[in-house]
Structure 1
Amino acid sequence: MKKSKFLAAGLIAAMMLPAAAQAQNREIRQDRREVREERRDYNQALRHGDRKDIREERREYHDARRDLRDSKRDWRRDQRYSHYRAPFRYQQFRVGSVLRPTYYAPTYRLNYDSRWGVPRANGNLAYVRHYNDLLLVNVRSGRVMRVYHNHFRWR
């Protein structure tokens, strides 16, 4: 009886995790759209409005920017990746470095996520996480093609 309850709770949690991530993506996209709209309204007020209109639009624009910044901060503090630890010590890699196969094993390869703000890896390239760094690695040769230092900033 207890096993089935535990299993059901685990399945429910596994199904809800992607929904939470999608909600965060949706919120960030909506906040970006609001920043664009508020910026446009602020520019119009600068051109055609009086002092009161300009002050009000500036305040709304800054509020929209603050909301976007808070949404991005919440996404970075997402707990799904916060306890990541590799079985080796941190080493700062550079473009052109050749990695041992254990560094880019399939367990360390990441699925592409558009929120990262990096281009999609095609062909023999794959993104690999090494502590807080994001590495673009050629999986055939092990050569590092691009390094995004401190890409996963959680705290």
Structure 2
Amino acid sequence: MRKFIITALLAATAIPATASAQSAGEVRRSQRDLREEQRELRDAQRYGSRRDVREERRDVRDARREVREDWRDYRQSHREVYARGNFRAPFRQQQWRPGARISSNYYGSRYYINDPYRYRLPNPGRGLRYVRHYDDVLLINPRSGRVVQVYNRFFW
């Protein structure tokens, strides 16, 4: 009975600690831990036994899960902060498709996403820009006004 109570108390204190990553520093620490676990797995594959390799694979899997959870929590907590801003355009929302040509009113500098890496968006490429349109993210070519890629409900 005593062992059960101690286990329950440990679980109750450990779960909230891993449930939310509020800072980018915590995400970076999780990624660093993942890289360290991957190094240990490579060492176990070179020099260790089957049991060592199995344990290290489990550790890498757990570290990957932790990174995913931290990123999800970080995005969720920061999504709420940015949702308070005024990102609404002075026109109605429209569904865009790749290849559509849009007016420059829809992709003015006011709507640019200047740091796409903060949102874990891929590199936009030369001459392309990410633009926020309501809850969607559009990858556009500002010279021609063509939509290259659409991320629907990205900020939802």
> Normalized against structure 2, the TM-score is what?
0.63
In the alignment, structure 1 segments of 5+ residues that lack a partner are 1-20
State the SS of the aligned residue for 2:138: strand
2: CA distance, partners of 1:148 / 1:28:
27
Task: Number of aligned residue pairs: give it.
Answer: 130
1:118 alignment partner in structure 2: 122
1:101 alignment partner in structure 2: 104
Q: How big is each residue's C-alpha offset from its partner over 1:13-69, in whole Å with a ceiling of 9 and x where there is no partner?
A: xxxxxxxx9x41x43333223222212312332443234423432332122112201
Deviation at 1:89, TM superposition (A): 4.3
Contact 1:133-1:151 at 8 Å conserved across structures: yes
Code of the aligned partner of 1:117: L
Deviation at 1:87, TM superposition (A): 4.7
In the alignment, is residue 43 of structure 1 matched against residue 62 of structure 2? Answer: no
1:3 alignment partner in structure 2: none
> Normalized against structure 1, the TM-score is what?
0.63
Q: 1:117 to 1:28 in 2, by over 3 A?
A: farther
1: CA distance, partners of 2:88 / 2:58:
42
Q: 1:30 to 1:151 in 2, by over 3 A?
A: farther
State the SS of the aligned residue for 2:103: coil
Deviation at 1:86, TM superposition (A): 4.3
Contact 2:40-2:56 at 8 Å conserved across structures: yes
The RMSD of aligned alpha carbons is 3.0
Deviation at 1:76, TM superposition (A): 1.8
Match runs of 1:23-42 below 5 Å = 23-24=23-24, 26-42=25-41
1:57 alignment partner in structure 2: 56
In the alignment, structure 2 segments of 5+ residues that lack a partner are 1-21
Code of the aligned partner of 1:149: Y
Match runs of 1:53-92 below 5 Å = 53-77=52-76, 78=78, 79-83=80-84, 85-92=88-95
